[in-house]
Amino acid sequence: MDLPRIFTIRESSHRIHNPFTPGKLATLGQALHLEPGTRILDLASGSGEMLCTWARDHRITGTGVDISTIFTEQARARAAELGVDDQVDFIHADAAGFVADTPVDLVACVGATWIGGGVAGTAELLIQSLRPGGLMLIGEPYWREEVPDQETARACGAGGTEDFLLLPELIEQFGVLGFDVVEMVLADQDSWDRYQAAQWLNLRRWLDDNPDDELAAEVRAELTTDPARYTRYQREYLGWGVFALMRR
């Protein structure tokens, strides 16, 4: 049970495995007015930067669950580095289907709604761990503008134009599911660059160090084509944000 190697190679230097910068993550924490002692469950928590920095800055407590052994180890090391390992803990497990033993104040899935088969299924999963009146965070891509064709959608990492919604339509979807949108923080093109372009240096350094690895040809092909694909398609068409929801 783990992520494919290519994913951990691609994001080996990342503390945040989505198109948020540390500043964006801090803005989100501030916008939520987190009280000391707020209990958080973060599903697909990656390298734990959200829980660890919010534990340091807002004195929250929490648990992160992630399928990656490497990212889980990095999260535990980050908690120790920031001196918050008594406030947060990280579990190596499949976040799909994970429900807290005791309802929490805030439950999150930031950029991994595949754990519930999409936004609706993920919201249904998350609500099972949330106390009445608590906050839910969902991070999700959306189209910044109408996508002209299926080729463009696939170049953005989607299966097709129908995979994502325009931002107003995504907001409306949360309403249809029975939630009020009470906050949001959106990635911008600069923060997308920091997420996406940083992967290219990771890929190149790994390739230089591992020219004979079985993944070398796949890494070389990705590094050759990804910068142009990203700048031609994804940077222009794909948005991403974290949305704070409360059940109606």
DSSP state of 147: -
Residue type, 45: S
pLDDT at 1: 79
Describe the strand order of the beta sheet including 88-92 as a list of residue ranges. Answer: 88-92, 61-66, 39-43, 104-110, 130-143, 238-247, 179-186
DSSP state of 166: B
pLDDT at 63: 98
Output the pTM of the full model: 0.96
Phi and psi, residue 179, nearest 5°: -120, 145
What are the extents of the domains in the chain?
Answer: 5-247
* Residue range 181-190: mean pLDDT, rounded: 98
* Residue range 185-203: mean pLDDT, rounded: 98
| Residue entry with tokens 């535990």 | 76
pLDDT at 230: 98
* Residue range 170-196: mean pLDDT, rounded: 98
Query: What percent of the chain clears pLDDT 70, i.e. is strictly above it?
Result: 100
Contact 196, 234 (CB under 8 A): yes
Give CATH for domain 5-247. Answer: 3.40.50.150
The Cα–Cα gap between 17 and 40 comes to 18
Task: Classify residue 79 by burial, with Cβ atoms within 10 Å: 0-12, 13-18, 19+.
Answer: buried
**Is the predicted pLDDT of residue 45 greater than 90, yes or no?**
yes
Phi and psi, residue 166, nearest 5°: -65, 155
* Residue range 98-108: mean pLDDT, rounded: 98
- pLDDT category, 151, cuts 50, 70, 90? very high
**Is the predicted pLDDT of residue 184 greater than 90, yes or no?**
yes
* Residue range 156-182: mean pLDDT, rounded: 97
**Is the predicted pLDDT of residue 202 greater than 90, yes or no?**
yes
- pLDDT category, 172, cuts 50, 70, 90? very high
Other beta carbons within 10 Å of 228: 10
The Cα–Cα gap between 66 and 89 comes to 11
**Chain mean pLDDT for the chain:** 97
Cα-Cα end-to-end distance for the chain: 36
The Cα–Cα gap between 65 and 92 comes to 6
Residue type, 123: A
**Is the predicted pLDDT of residue 154 greater than 90, yes or no?**
yes
Give residue-wise pLDDT tens across range 12-37.
999 999 999 999 999 999 999 999 99
pLDDT at 221: 98
The Cα–Cα gap between 219 and 207 comes to 7
